[in-house]
Amino acid sequence: MPFGTIKLNDGNEIPAIAYGTGSVNKGKDIHAQVEQAIETGFWHIDTAQWYQNEESVGVAIRESGLARSDLYVTTKYGGGDIQEAIRASLSKLDIKSVDLYLIHSPGLISNGDFEGAWKEFEKIKEDGLSKTIGVSNFSVDDLQKISKSAHVKPAVNQIRLHPYNYSENKSLLEYHAAHGIVTEAYGSLASITTYPGGPVDIPVNVAAKLRGVTPTQVVFLWVKAKGAVIVTTSSNKQHLEEYLAVGDIDPLTEAEVLAIDEAGALGPPKKMSRKQFSMGFLVTFFIFAGYRMYACTV
């Protein structure tokens, strides 16, 4: 497989790319899409109580014919009694345990009792219902509330991460790095799907052209450069193959990553301003300069 795994702070490992079943798939029977993803090469399936499709994910797992150990399954707590929620998810998925169980959002914690909720999650790990426990959409403040009494650190924080929100998440990513928390990134293609025509397009397109790859692949290379697990989805097999192929593409240079960071910091405008257009040319020049410096060292 083109993508490997990333070591977690509890000693387990997580596949570096996951097939997500949320977003537009909420409440839908998506077993066919999940089966296609598995057949294409995805072996990390990400679902959630809130997505209301754990049953169809379970169907896909059964129909894949793979041993349970050949698949990495993530689901997320979406409210209610925590112990009842994990058991309900396992029943719908038709498996005895998940590989990763996340608190989907800090707002789901009853009465703001972060310490109490995390104790329940630690019990889930202790009871073997999930190998690894973590969180999703948590801020630094949220993580600090858990850390006050945690015996087991959150291994993962799954967040929305793309070039246009990187600067506002930088302190969070630094906190992750300092505490051994792996970042999972969803929504990373926002610069292409939600904010096309912005300043990020220029450095991304230049890097894509230099490598003979797609802008989508460059964005995922940027996510990899941040040390994050990619969480993505598509019902199109060619797109899935495109995503998995990122594992075989040479990484971005430091200059390219910095150029995308700086372009993202300009923000996602509806229309590119003259200033942003000029900055786009500057970051493009920066990329070429970085390549020239790199070429002189090899």
Cβ-based neighbour number of residue 5 at 10 Å? 15
- Tens digit of pLDDT for each residue in 189-238? 999 999 999 999 999 999 999 999 999 999 999 999 999 999 999 999 99
Token pair 């300092």: residue: 178
Note the pLDDT of residue 24: 85
Q: Provide the token pair at 74.
A: 């993530």
pLDDT, mean over the chain = 92
Note the pLDDT of residue 232: 98
Residue 1's pLDDT band, with cuts at 50, 70 and 90, is very low
Q: Does domain 5-160 have CATH number 3.20.20.100?
A: yes
- Tens digit of pLDDT for each residue in 56-87? 999 999 999 999 999 999 999 999 999 999 99
- pLDDT(248) > 50: yes
- Contacting residues for 91 by C-beta, under 8 A, at least 6 apart: none
- Tens digit of pLDDT for each residue in 92-118? 999 999 999 999 999 999 999 999 999
Cβ-based neighbour number of residue 70 at 10 Å? 11
Contact 57, 45 (CB under 8 A): yes
Q: How far apart are CA 46 and CA 43, in angstroms?
A: 10
- Tens digit of pLDDT for each residue in 4-50? 999 999 999 999 999 999 988 888 899 999 999 999 999 999 999 99
Eight-state DSSP code of residue 11: S
Average pLDDT of the residues in 235-256: 97
Nearest to 218 by CA among 269, 169, 183, 253: 253
- pLDDT(285) > 60: no
Q: DSSP readout, 231-246?
A: EE--S-HHHHHHHHGG
Half-sphere exposure of 1 (CA within 13 A, CB side): 18
44 is an annotated ligand-binding site residue: no
Contact 204, 191 (CB under 8 A): yes
Residue 295's pLDDT band, with cuts at 50, 70 and 90, is very low
Stated pTM of the model: 0.91
Note the pLDDT of residue 27: 87
Note the pLDDT of residue 25: 85
Burial of 100 (0-12, 13-18, 19+ CB in 10 A): buried
Letter string b/e over residues 189-208, b meaning 16 or more CB atoms within 10 A of that residue's CB:
bbbbeebeebbbbbbbebbb
Note the pLDDT of residue 280: 56
Average pLDDT of the residues in 153-177: 98
Average pLDDT of the residues in 135-151: 96
Note the pLDDT of residue 23: 83
134, 205, 279 from 210: Cα distances, Å? 38, 9, 20
Q: CA-based Rg of the chain, rounded to a whole angstrom?
A: 20
Query: Is the four-CA dihedral 18, 50, 8, 38 of positive or negative sign?
Result: negative
Catalytic residues: 51
So where are the chain's domains? 5-160
Nearest to 203 by CA among 153, 248, 257: 257
Nearest to 130 by CA among 174, 89, 184, 187: 89
Note the pLDDT of residue 296: 46
Letter string b/e over residues 239-276, b meaning 16 or more CB atoms within 10 A of that residue's CB:
ebebbbbbbebeebbebbbbbbbbbbbbebeeebeeeb
- pLDDT(297) > 60: no
Note the pLDDT of residue 62: 96
Nearest to 74 by CA among 131, 152, 147, 12: 131
Q: How far apart are CA 244 and CA 182, in angstroms?
A: 20
Q: How far apart are CA 95 and CA 66, in angstroms?
A: 13
